[in-house]
Amino acid sequence: MKKLFEMHSQAILIGLAFLLLAVLGTYFFWGGRIILTGLHESLKIPSVSEKPIGFDIEAAKALNLKLE
């Protein structure tokens, strides 16, 4: 293995650099997509047909849950 690395050290290091570049590029692309999707959802203006999400106290009381 040592002899192989000595013979092809530059090619191996360049290959590993490209592999690292591909992994980091994929990671940052994925992270950017997650951030942009979150911003889009948080800044989106709801349409008239969408009901706002709320908490129904009467329905919760009807469940009659006992917390201990």
**Does residue 39 form part of some domain?**
yes
Regarding predicted confidence, which is higher, 61 or 30? 30
**Does residue 20 form part of some domain?**
yes
- The domain of 19 spans 2-63
**Does residue 68 form part of some domain?**
no
Q: Give me the number of domains the chain comprises.
A: 1
**Does residue 50 form part of some domain?**
yes
Regarding predicted confidence, which is higher, 36 or 66? 36
Look-up: residue for tokens 């530059």?
10
Q: For residue 49, what are its two tokens?
A: 């047909």
> What is the pLDDT at residue 68?
63
- 65 sits in which H/E element: none
**Does residue 27 form part of some domain?**
yes
pTM of the predicted structure, to 2 decimals:
0.54
Measured CA to CA, the distance from residue 24 to residue 8 in angstroms comes to 24
Residue 48 neighbours by CB distance under 10 Å:
5
Residues 9, 2: contact at Cβ < 8 Å?
Answer: no
pLDDT tens digit sequence for 5-46:
788 889 999 999 999 999 999 999 999 999 999 999 888 877
